[in-house]
Every structure is written in structure tokens, then in C-alpha cells.
Amino acid sequence: MARASDREVWNHAKEAGLVIVSKDNDFQQMSFVYGPPPKVIWIRRGNCSVEETERILRSNSARIHEFERDQEAAYLILS
């Protein structure tokens, strides 16, 4: 998937029942156009380390689980 286009990533996530987690807002924009699935978690933080990204995800685990259960939600923004 490292060389896949955004559309290929989107289709793979949709078919596999995955959530896309990205620092790129392209997937958030795709969620407006196509709607879920897949769901999108957009990490809205500029250049940050893998450790910082992990901290953001772990500290928001309750929100992420709630987001996953919400049938209407298409994307979640974390910062």
C-alpha cells in the first residue's frame, strides 16, 4: 500500500472493513464525497513524531471507539 493511490487505499479499506488513519486531509475530503465506509480519522497535527501520533491515538481511544460504533459518523478529527 506504500505506493497505492488514495483511491486504492480507500477501496482497500472499504473492502476490508478498515478505518483510515491519516495526517493527510485528502481522505477527509473523500469522506465528504463518498461517505462511509470506510471511516476516516484525520490527525490534524503538522509534522510530528510517530510517538506523538501514538500519544494522540491512545489519549483519544474512548472517542475512537465511540466513533467506530456510530453508524452515521464518516470522519473524526483529532489534534
pLDDT digits (tens, 9 = 90+) for 37-63: 999 999 999 888 999 999 999 999 999
Q: What per-residue confidence (pLDDT) applies to 24?
A: 87
Q: What per-residue confidence (pLDDT) applies to 58?
A: 97
Q: What per-residue confidence (pLDDT) applies to 46?
A: 85
Grid cell in block for residue 35: 461517505
Task: Say whether pLDDT at 68 is over 90.
Answer: yes
What percent of the chain has a predicted confidence (pLDDT) above 70? 100
Task: Say whether pLDDT at 20 is over 90.
Answer: yes
Axis-axis angle for helices 50-59, 61-69 (nearest 10): 60
